[in-house]
Amino acid sequence: MARRTRSAFLENRTARLKLARRKKPYTALIAPGIFLAYRCNAGPGTWSVKCHGWLKRFALADDREDANGESVMTYWQALERAKTLARAGEGNSDQPISVGAAIDAYEADLETRGGRKYNATQLRLHLSDTLKAKAVALLTERELRDWRAGLVKGGLKPSSADRIGRALKAALALAARTDKRIANTAAWQNGLKKLPDSEVARNVILPDHTVKALVSGSYDEDRDFGLLVDVLAETGARESQVFQLTPADLQDHLTAPRLMMPTSRKGKNRKIEYRPLPISTRLAKALRQQANGRAAHSPLFNKMWNLARTFRSVVERLGLGTEVTPYALRHSSIVRQLLSLVPTRVVAAHHDTSIAMIERNYSRYILGDSTEALTRAALLDLGAPANLADVVPLARLAS
């Protein structure tokens, strides 16, 4: 059995409370090159790990309250946690990545892949400084679950809290792929599981005249912004897809123009494919003007980081509710096609999603008023007299 590393002045609270208060921590060598550090404060002391020149605090000492093994630790619990944190990746002298640094890396990754940095910038607004400073390798399932529950308690809808939680999961997963010392992936996989209430559809469906008013109002704000909203409304694509368009993606046929829309990088499949989406000759003409002077494979639209804010001003000017966002144009496009009896498989392919997602979120429109004529034609007329000569016993049918 391995020997336990003892420290007469740190291993029990009575000895620690006799230490003089000072900024410099008291240390105990617990393994070659690894020190457990204790800082004596006016309140409870703190445990840190010191290794390869870096110092990382990870818990309070059980000076004033009983240990819970997570936020408050005994000397022996802190000793094991310090060794785990410092030695999980032998040969790695870098300081363990913090949650804040993980979000920074996630933001850079989004920008590199053409994603929306908003996912990272919005996430930062909902994290405390304490949580951002904590090492990813020290996060616990309970801590993350309580954090997200606090978002809902603070007034966010479960669907919004779940969306922010997914962004944090993506940032932490990216950190775990780059730092093998992070072995607690179950903490966010379990602690940030989808909330039951987040499955409630938030889809805002707009009538056609409202969609037209939004597009017209967007052109009043700015031509480029108006054209972008025009594409979103007519194709039902995501913003991230439209920002990947290039002049070469416009197939400008005179009578049947199309846009070769790139698929999104959602899910595990990161490979981009291109699907032809029909567009009106009116929109094709506007896009042709937009493409003038641009290289064939340069972006057709410049990045608009203030897109949501600009769209909100249009919504307010038209007197619409705050629930109307650019994504409402996508929801409306899906429903418009379903009500026009476009097959579900075609609707899913057009909008770069799955049949399962369409059926789960828009099933009431698949079985809406427009399908009544189809199902009415198949109704059985039970009021008509039956001809007994046409009745066939089941036994005969089976033979």
d(CA 181, CA 34): 15
Write the CB contacts of 233 (distance below 8 Å, at least 6 apart in sequence): 211, 214, 215, 329, 332, 333
Phi-psi region of 155 (alpha: psi -120 to 50; beta: other; left: phi over 0): left
Predicted local confidence at residue 91, as pLDDT? 44
Residue 26 CB neighbours (<10 A): 18
Domains and CATH numbers, the chain: 13-87 (no CATH), 99-199 (1.10.150), 208-373 (1.10.443.10)
Place of tokens 């809808």: 157
* Residues 213/318, Cβ–Cβ less than 8 Å: yes
Angle at the Cα of 244 (from 204 to 311), degrees rounded to 5? 35
Tens of pLDDT along the chain (399 residues)?
A: 356 678 888 888 888 888 888 888 998 888 888 889 999 888 889 988 888 777 888 888 988 888 888 889 999 999 888 887 776 544 455 667 889 989 999 988 887 776 677 788 889 989 998 888 888 888 889 999 999 999 989 888 888 888 899 999 999 999 988 887 787 889 899 999 887 755 544 678 999 999 999 999 999 999 999 999 999 999 999 998 999 999 999 987 778 899 999 988 665 455 788 999 999 999 999 999 999 999 999 999 998 878 888 999 999 999 998 889 899 999 999 999 998 889 999 999 999 999 998 988 888 777 655 566 667 777 777 776 767 666 666 565 444
Q: Cα dihedral angle (266, 269, 274, 276), rounded to 10 degrees?
A: -70
d(CA 202, CA 191): 23
Predicted local confidence at residue 200, as pLDDT? 47
For residue 354, the Cα-to-chain-centroid distance in whole angstroms is 18
- Amino acid code (one letter) for 297: H
- Using H for helix, E for strand and C for coil, what is the string for the chain? CCCCCCCCCCCCHHHHCCCCCCCCCEEEEEECCEEEEEECCCCCCEEEEEECCEEEEEEEECCCCCCCCCCEECHHHHHHHHHHHHHCCCCCCCCCCEHHHHHHHHHHHHHHCCCCCHHHHHHHCCCCHHHHHCEHHHCCHHHHHHHHHHHHHCCCCHHHHHHHHHHHHHHHHHHHHHCCCCCCHHHHHHHCCCCHHHHCCCCCCCCHHHHHHHHHHHHHHCHHHHHHHHHHHHHCCCHHHHCCCCHHHEECCCCCCEEEEECCCCCCCCCCCEEEEECCHHHHHHHHHHHCCCCCCCCCCCCCCCHHHHHHHHHHHCCCCCCCCCHHHHHHHHHHHHHCCCCHHHHHHHCCCCHHHHHHHHHHHHCCHHHHHHHHCCCCCCCCCCCHHHCCCHHHHHC
Task: Indicate if the alpha-carbon torsion angle 294, 299, 301, 303 is positive or negative.
Answer: negative
d(CA 29, CA 337): 68
